[in-house]
């Protein structure tokens, strides 16, 4: 059986962005249809609309946390606090392993010119020069493990 990370990596290598790939790996677990999951997470790729800010894999990981631990009550302050603690913990773990949660830092590109809105074509060269496949896999496995240990 494939791990959540392997499933997310396959989605990424099929052309979905980082955020979509992570969320899609978990969508069925939360009764979320694939199309809705892909649409919700589509603007978070490239570090949020290719702004190269928070890594899309990290955003996807946080969406999964919201599905698992979130709430729909604006006055549920304790639930919010507990969710934010979980988000911060996973952000720390991701950063400790990868050096950052910021897309441009993970890719080693400067802030200037980093936010061109044109997505790159997915070629063999693209996959060789970018760590995104590995980061998507890591994020999905990290959030899966976290959920298993924090039911």
Domain positions in the chain are 4-149
CA distance 10 to 22: 10
Instruction: Indicate the SS3 state at residue 149.
Output: helix
CA–CA–CA angle 82, 87, 93 (5° rounding):
125
| Per-residue pLDDT tens over the stretch 88-133 | 999 999 999 999 999 999 998 877 656 666 677 777 777 677 899 9
What pLDDT digit, counting tens, does each position of 31-69 carry?
A: 999 999 999 999 999 999 989 999 999 999 999 999 999
CA angle at residue 17 from 19 to 73, to 5 degrees? 25
CB-based burial of residue 10 (10 Å sphere; 0-12 exposed, 13-18 middle, 19+ buried)? middle
Separation between Cα atoms, residue 108 and residue 59, nearest integer Å: 19
Hey, how many other C-beta atoms are within 10 angstroms of the C-beta on 51?
Answer: 14
Neighbours of 56 (CB within 10 A): 32
pTM metric for this prediction: 0.92
CA angle 133, 52, 38 (to 5 degrees): 55
Residue 80 burial (10 A CB sphere; 0-12, 13-18, 19+)? middle
């Amino acid at each position: 059986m494939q791990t959540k990370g392997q499933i997310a990596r396959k989605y990424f290598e099929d052309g979905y962005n980082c955020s979509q790939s992570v969320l899609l790996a978990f969508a069925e677990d939360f009764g979320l249809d694939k199309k809705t999951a892909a649409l919700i997470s589509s603007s978070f790729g490239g570090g949020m609309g290719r702004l190269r800010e928070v890594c899309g894999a990290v955003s996807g990981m946080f969406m999964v946390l919201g599905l698992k631990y979130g709430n729909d009550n604006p006055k549920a302050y304790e639930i919010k606090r507990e969710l934010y603690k979980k988000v911060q913990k996973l952000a720390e773990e991701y950063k400790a392993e990868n050096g950052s949660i910021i897309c441009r830092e993970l890719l080693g590109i400067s802030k200037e010119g980093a936010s061109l809105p044109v997505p790159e074509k997915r070629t063999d060269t693209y996959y060789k020069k970018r760590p995104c496949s590995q980061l998507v896999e890591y994020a999905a496995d990290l959030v899966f493990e976290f959920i298993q240990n924090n039911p």
